[in-house]
Structure 1
Amino acid sequence: MGRISEEARSRKEEAIRAATDRILRGELPPGGKCDLSTLATEAGVTRTAFYPKKNRDGTTRPGPYQHLAEEFERRLKLLQEAGAVVDPRIAQIQRLKDTNTQLEERIKKQNIEIDELKEFQQLALSRIAAQHLEIERLRTEAAAGGKVTVLTPRRSVSGTIGTCN
């Protein structure tokens, strides 16, 4: 690729700065992220222009727009440290993680409650079964004419009990 004119380079830098401002305001294109790849696409430059280049002798030189990529990353880091969420997808991911944690906690509590209710159910069923067996035993004993005495109610001398005015 040949060298570009100073005027074309200046236009590209302005396009990169404008794209940087838009992206850092949270105006991301559909499917875009808050990264250098999206910045390059929005500015109309190749992503490789943001990275250092190797000379033929093996030494490195800065990429044509590397200083702007460093400025973008520095500003992004400052915004993140200030608590601003530039990329709405990151905020959505964090909300989903928080919701997931809350749901996992609810499931744990519900599983504990279900286990406790199963234990209570088992205990109640065993008590009902024991009571049923005792009732059956008493009925069998009563039917066999065992030592069961039938009590008759006592009749009171006066027809009223207590004060009935």
Structure 2
Amino acid sequence: MASERHAQAEARIQAAMEQLLGGDIPEGLRCDIKSLSTLSGVPRATLYRTYPHLKQEFEQRLGRVRETGGEPDPRITQVDRLKGEVARLRGRIARMNQELTEAEAFRTTALSRLAAQHEEIVSLRRELSDATAGGLRMVPPR
């Protein structure tokens, strides 16, 4: 009877191991020992005490998967991808803010120059009108 329960628990642990390493990870769980014990229905202390060979096998297989550049948990892969995308977008926002600052500085400079040119034109027109009002004639251009 005890050996039958032992064999059933071992089979459940093996099935949970295959499920987790296969990427079929239920919501709220991860690809780790705690999730392995939860999914198999075997208490974690029992897994450490009675089935250390299965725990070690799981850790070795998980390590091999990660060494080959894979990740059994697709959510971790997605999180890593999204972190990269967030970093790229933050860089893009920083560049756009820099461009906006430069455009605002250019606008301020351009408006200042336009105002100065306008004042110069008004001043020249005033001088011209004063000169023609005093009886001076303009020399026609050749």
> Same fold per TM (> 0.5)?
yes
Asked if residue 18 in structure 1 is aligned to residue 15 in structure 2, the reply is: yes
Q: Aligned-pair distance for 1:141?
A: 1.3
Letter in 1 for 2:56: E
**40 and 148 in structure 1: CA distance in 2 versus 1, 3 angstrom threshold:** farther
**6 and 134 in structure 1: CA distance in 2 versus 1, 3 angstrom threshold:** same
Asked if residue 151 in structure 1 is aligned to residue 137 in structure 2, the reply is: no
Partner of 1:137: 123
Q: Aligned-pair distance for 1:145?
A: 2.9
Q: Aligned-pair distance for 1:143?
A: 2.4
The CA distance in 2 between the partners of 1:150 and 1:73, in whole Å, is 99
Cα RMSD for the two superposed structures? 1.8
Partner of 2:45: 48
The CA distance in 1 between the partners of 2:113 and 2:34, in whole Å, is 70
Partner of 1:89: 75
Q: Which runs of 4+ in 1 moved over 6 A?
A: none
Q: Aligned-pair distance for 1:142?
A: 2.1
The CA distance in 1 between the partners of 2:71 and 2:55, in whole Å, is 19
> What is the CA deviation profile of residues 6-43 of structure 1, one whole-angstrom value per residue up to 9, with x for unaligned ones?
11111100110111011100011122111111111111
Q: Aligned-pair distance for 1:150?
A: 5.8
Partner of 1:73: 59
Match of 1:111 among 78, 92, 97: 97
Count of residue pairs brought into register by the alignment: 139
- The sequence identity of aligned pairs, in percent, is 41
Q: Aligned-pair distance for 1:148?
A: 6.3
Higher relative contact order (CA 8 A, sep 6+): 2
The CA distance in 1 between the partners of 2:53 and 2:2, in whole Å, is 18
Asked if residue 39 in structure 1 is aligned to residue 36 in structure 2, the reply is: yes
**Unaligned ranges ≥5, structure 1:** 52-62, 155-165
The CA distance in 2 between the partners of 1:74 and 1:139, in whole Å, is 89
**148 and 37 in structure 1: CA distance in 2 versus 1, 3 angstrom threshold:** farther
Letter in 1 for 2:101: D
Q: Aligned-pair distance for 1:101?
A: 1.0
The CA distance in 2 between the partners of 1:83 and 1:118, in whole Å, is 46
